Amino acid sequence: MTNFILKYSEATEPDVKKMTAVLSAHGVRVLDGSLLPTTALVEIEESSLAVIQTDLGTEWNIYPEKNYGIPGTQKKAKRKS
Amino acid sequence: MKQQRKSSENYILLPISKTRVNPNESPKVAEFFTQLQSSSEATTAISLNVRKRPAQNSDEITVTVLDSIDTEGAKLISISKEELANFRFSYPGVRIIPERFYSPAIASREIMKIRLSETQPLTTVNLRISNAARQGIPGVTAVFFSDFSASRGASGVTDAKGQVTLKLNGTKAERIYLYPEHSYWGHYATDVTLKRDMNYTLEQFLPGYKDALRYFYHTSTWRPIERKVKVGVIDTGIGPHEDLTVLGGKNLVRGEEESRYGDVEGHGTHVAGIIAAGGHMKGVAEGAELMSYRVFAKGQGASNFDIIKAIDQAIKDGCDLINMSLGEAQDDEAISSYIKDAYNAGILCFAANGNDNRGPVSFPAAYSLAIAVSAMGRKGTFPDSSVQSGAIHEPFGTDEANFIADFSNQGSETDLTAPGVGIISTYPGNHYAVMDGTSMSCPAAAGMAARILAGSPKILDLPRNQTRADEMVKYLAIYTKLLGFGANFEGKGMLYTNDELHSKI
């Protein structure tokens, strides 16, 4: 299971019932729903990604969760001498 | 100014939202696209006006429209790379995206690098780092390189007595870097013969020291800004620090308490101090309202989901500017869609170019609606033996004491430059620390933007929509000055507030 961000891309109100039904049907778990109804962090089996995208329709985008770092300037010795 | 090479490249112009301009929503952009459309039919060069101060001579950008998708659709143009920042500041209602060419995904043969092992004697170094009073300094990160280009070496952090033991192959260190947490300048040395016992004394600094930020911006004599400008800092949290007043914020890290938006690591507190410190040390926009959006769990990276939650919260809180001293290499549509939402809510996002030693501009700085900031420094604003001396690198400016930091990323997405080498600012525990990076130049530019925009209540009072953000960008464009580094390194130059500084740069 991998974390993805589900994001509604249209200016109109999203069809939450349809979205919820698709997520339930594929056993998708909502990890953070604080930005619903337009955005949510969800846990998806990668093999189901394409079919979930198809079922949700083009008005929903699915992006991978990524990790951001603070751009540091300290030099690092990466290998043992 | 140094002669800059005028090389043209192709770019795609798009409206801020979606792929076609709506004449009812954006009449000015629609008019501009119509102008370009008529030019595309003849494929001739046209001249576009540049946003400058009324007192300055008019200037023009030459572009050639190569192709177009109808009147309201995307335009393919050719424009000099040197003019890109000028274009972005003059036409903020339009996205400008490099034309890219895709290749078939053919797997290439991997090149294996085999390094012959060297048999060298092992040297144990008992290092002690102290201050002028010979007191040991704890928490100093010592990095010794036996082979810098191969990143070979050893590192450690000093204990409560200021001591650490390092083991290196060989008898010489090509480079030595000492990074204290706070209160002292770091130390840089090359070609050092290793000994069993080595001692270094670090130089303490005072908050009133004239660093590169205060060389260009006389923060100690500036009055607090009079019009409230709200700046959201998406970082490790802010403070508490006696020089900082934080209006509010939220901890967006999943699983943590929302009310804990203070800082235990230092980065966010340093960033916030550059913007709005107002005590023993002054930021560039004392009086700006700081909002702390914590997205970094202690010692960890930040999820893009937590970052978009922070942008969303900044929009809800009515921020005017957002500072993002963070970045990664790859594009991220999840974040760019929220930066677009912020822009459409009349908010400008400033982002750090990144510190990958001249690598390409990091994301989100590289996103067309973010303001990307590179880091510059000035010789003489830090001790010769400090780690900052290792950041001196070409290109040098018209004033050859100015330089673009060796670590600063560069590229055509660069919008501005600002001081980011040897910057003194606030640090948790009511301390002060010296830090380097585009993480520091980004808030210097965002803070200056807050100060400049505070002088235009008319713009700040506009309805919160794309037009407000457009007008903010155009207004800031008036207060920029090129330093002679070239567009890929400085974009439209450095923000300034008055003619005195203008003549100084």
Q: Write down the ipTM of this complex.
A: 0.86
pLDDT of residue B30: 83
Q: Is residue B410 part of a domain?
A: yes
Q: Is residue B471 part of a domain?
A: yes
Whether B331 and B272 share a structural domain: yes
Q: In angstroms, rounded to a whole number, what is the distance separating the alpha carbons of residues B268 and B248? A: 14
pLDDT of residue B104: 40
Q: Is residue B495 part of a domain?
A: yes
Of the three residues B201, B235, B268, the one that is the final residue of a domain is B201
Q: Based on DSSP, count helices (H) and strands (E) in chain A, helices before strands.
A: 2, 6
Q: Is residue A36 part of a domain?
A: yes
Are B406 and B208 a contacting pair, CB within 8 Å? no
- Contacts (Cβ under 8 Å, ≥6 apart) of B494: B216, B376, B416, B417, B418, B480, B481, B483, B505
Whether B174 and B32 share a structural domain: no
Alpha helices in B178-266 (DSSP H): 212-216
Question: Which two three-digit tokens encode residue A29?
Answer: 């778990």
Q: Is residue A73 part of a domain?
A: no
Whether residue B55 is predicted with pLDDT greater than 70 in this model: the reply is no
Can you give the length of chain B in residues?
Answer: 505
pLDDT of residue B284: 98
Nearest Cβ partner for A75 among B147, B177, B333: B177
pLDDT 10s digits, B479-502:
999 999 999 999 999 999 875 554
Q: In angstroms, rounded to a whole number, what is the distance separating the alpha carbons of residues B175 and B190? A: 4
Query: Which structural domain, as residue segments, surrounds residue B131?
Result: 122-201
Q: What percent of chain B has pLDDT over 90?
A: 71
pLDDT 10s digits, B29-41:
888 888 887 776 6
Annotated catalytic residue within B182, B187, B235, B292 = B235
Q: Is residue B116 part of a domain?
A: no
Residue of chain A whose alpha carbon sits nearest to that of B355: A71
B127, β-bridge pairs: B164, B198
Q: How far is CA B441 from CA B16, B143, B240, B323, B406, in A?
A: 26, 25, 22, 11, 14
Q: Is residue A81 part of a domain?
A: no
Query: Sorting pLDDT into bands at 50, 70 and 90, what band is B314?
Result: very high
Mean pLDDT of B64-78: 79
Question: Looking at the complex, does the CB of residue A3 fall below 8 Å from at least one CB of chain B?
Answer: yes
pLDDT of residue B100: 61
B444 or B150: which leads in pLDDT:
B444
- Give contacts of A61 with chain B, Cβ < 8 Å: 333, 337
Instruction: Return the CATH number at A54.
Output: 3.30.70.1150
pLDDT of residue B41: 65
Mean pLDDT of B391-417: 97
Alpha helices in chain A (DSSP H): 16-25, 49-56
pLDDT of residue B117: 42
In chain A, the number of structural domains is 1
pLDDT of residue B82: 82
Query: Sorting pLDDT into bands at 50, 70 and 90, what band is B242?
Result: very high
Residue of chain B whose alpha carbon sits nearest to that of A3: B305
pLDDT of residue B85: 86
Residues 331-350 of B with CB under 8 A from A: 332-334, 337
Q: Is residue B191 part of a domain?
A: yes
Q: Is residue B24 part of a domain?
A: yes
| Catalytic residue check, B325 | no
pLDDT 10s digits, A7-59:
999 989 999 999 999 999 999 999 999 999 999 999 999 999 999 999 999 99
Whether B131 and B13 share a structural domain: no
Are A74 and B143 a contacting pair, CB within 8 Å? yes
Whether B35 and B75 share a structural domain: yes
pLDDT of residue B20: 73
Q: In angstroms, rounded to a whole number, what is the distance separating the alpha carbons of residues B272 and B283? A: 8
Are B334 and B305 a contacting pair, CB within 8 Å? yes
> For B452-464, b where at least 16 C-beta lie within 10 A, e where not — what string?
bbbebeebbebee
pLDDT of residue B410: 97
Residue of chain A whose alpha carbon sits nearest to that of B439: A71
Residue B362 to residue A61, Cβ atoms within 8 A: no
Of the three residues B201, B236, B255, the one that is the final residue of a domain is B201
Mutate to test the interface with A, among B267, B304, B367 (most CBs of A within 10 A): B304
Mean pLDDT of A68-80: 81
Q: Is residue B261 part of a domain?
A: yes
| Catalytic residue check, B439 | yes
Give how far B357 is from chain A: nearest CA, Å. Answer: 9
Nearest Cβ partner for B439 among A39, A70, A80: A70
Residue A70 to residue B179, Cβ atoms within 8 A: no
B119 or B296: which leads in pLDDT:
B296
Nearest Cβ partner for B332 among A3, A34, A66: A66
Neighbours of A36 (CB within 10 A): 15
Whether residue B277 is predicted with pLDDT greater than 60 in this model: the reply is yes
Nearest to B177 by CA among B393, B374, B391, B403: B391
Instruction: Return the CATH number at B174.
Output: 2.60.40.10
- Give contacts of A65 with chain B, Cβ < 8 Å: 303-305
**Strand A39-44 to strand B172-179: parallel, antiparallel, or no bridges (unpaired)?**
unpaired
pLDDT 10s digits, B116-147:
444 567 899 999 999 999 999 999 999 999 99
- Give contacts of B175 with chain A, Cβ < 8 Å: 75
Q: Is residue A55 part of a domain?
A: yes
Question: Looking at the complex, does the CB of residue B147 fall below 8 Å from at least one CB of chain A?
Answer: yes
Q: What percent of chain A has pLDDT over 70?
A: 95
Whether residue B215 is predicted with pLDDT greater than 60 in this model: the reply is yes
Give how far B39 is from chain A: nearest CA, Å. Answer: 32
pLDDT 10s digits, B72-116:
777 788 888 888 888 888 888 788 877 665 434 333 333 333 344
Question: Looking at the complex, does the CB of residue A80 fall below 8 Å from at least one CB of chain B?
Answer: yes
Query: Sorting pLDDT into bands at 50, 70 and 90, what band is B2?
Result: very low
Q: Is residue A20 part of a domain?
A: yes
Q: What percent of chain B has pLDDT over 70?
A: 89
Residues 5-64 of B with CB under 8 A from A: none
B349 or B113: which leads in pLDDT:
B349
Instruction: Return the CATH number at B271.
Output: 3.40.50.200
pLDDT 10s digits, B254-271:
889 999 999 989 999 999
Nearest Cβ partner for A81 among B153, B326, B337: B153
Q: Is residue B55 part of a domain?
A: yes
Q: Is residue A8 part of a domain?
A: yes
Give how far A36 is from chain B: nearest CA, Å. Answer: 11
Task: Return the beta strands (E) in B206-297 as ranges.
Answer: 230-235, 246-251, 289-294
Nearest Cβ partner for A66 among B169, B267, B304: B304
Of the three residues B148, B170, B201, the one that is the final residue of a domain is B201
Averaged pLDDT of chain B: 89
Query: Which structural domain, as residue segments, surrounds residue A8?
Result: 2-64
